[in-house]
Structure 1
């Protein structure tokens, strides 16, 4: 799954937003990861890691004392991330073949990570609630989850509109899973993004 999500915080001023999106409507994952405020030593789960667009910069952000769990159903995607990580000399990534729609599908223990990112996978899933519940299960208390999905109002590129997940559905499912809504990201012209917290 290709993670090319455009993400930036609502509070970012227009000049900064222009820099982050580079006039394309999409945001550079290496820059947006700074908005997550990840700390050295933290553990992060990348649900549907795809080609590692977020995995690699997050691995750099948490440093050698941290841990990134790259999870994907496609083994070739995990192999691609491994190749990229080798080039970058990153040794803090665990590669997990995972069906996130299954109960305990991430294969991670309860309350083990500080942050979960779910980018561009809910529109492909039948059991969206199960994915969010799995994120809740593995997050520590106070941990956060960022969700990014395709905007329904922009028809250029991306999946068919009928497959895209309405923002209100993401909010409702996340809150039903136990999360508290924190804020919305300015995700450019192609996506929307939300940040949630586990109490």
Structure 2
């Protein structure tokens, strides 16, 4: 799901990830590249962003944006993240993974966390950015579909991650940063 700059500032969110030049990043459910593009600027030419999505038109949009900004470090991958090894990325290759605004759409939420764990290197990081579950709003999915923060922590820890800290996800989102154990 694509987010609007009026309530989620991608530059501010991505800055909190503490990415470095040369990092390899997987953006799970990249949508229209709302976080992909700013992350690609940070990791630079020696880094790589893998933009993963099941919607082929979203991947086309990301490729178009990358061309417009002359970003050659973005690879789009059609992925069904509810399937084992659905990212098509080799194990232990990624420094940082992002799961943003997709959990409410998934039936098998465990699979996406297990896949993030599989592709992350030892001590790799995972950011989860999801819709706040307590704020009544016309924005985003219905409240009953939103995943509470505690459930996201449970899903991540069940997959082998440890919660490091929370980060500012904006007015309508919560942000959690995990480390692969």
TM range, smaller chain: over 0.9
Q: Match for residue 41 of structure 1? A: 22
Which residue is equivalent to 1:61? 42
What's the RMSD between the two structures over aligned residues? 1.2
Larger radius of gyration: 1
More strand by share: 2
Counterparts of 1:184 and 1:175, CA distance in 2: 14
Q: How far off its partner does 1:35 sit?
A: 1.4
Give the structure, 1 or 2, with the largest relative contact order (CA under 8 Å, sep 6 or more).
1
| Count of residues paired in the alignment | 180
- Deviation above 3 Å: which 4+ runs of structure 1? none
Unaligned runs of 5+ in 2: none
* Partner secondary structure for residue 15 of structure 2: helix
Q: TM-score, normalised by structure 1?
A: 0.87
Matched, 1:172 2:154: yes
Q: Given the two structures, how large is their TM-score scaled by the length of structure 2?
A: 0.96
Listed as ranges, the gaps of 5+ residues in structure 1 are 5-20
Separation in structure 2 between the aligned mates of residue 3 and residue 152 of structure 1, nearest angstrom: 16
The 8 Å contact of residues 3 and 119 in structure 1, kept in 2 or not, is answered as no
| Aligned residue in 2 for 1:194 | 176
Cα distance between partner residues in 1 of 2:80 and 2:49 = 17
Give, in whole Å, the separation in 2 of the partners of 1:32 and 1:51. 16
Residue 81 of structure 2 is aligned to residue 117 of structure 1:
no
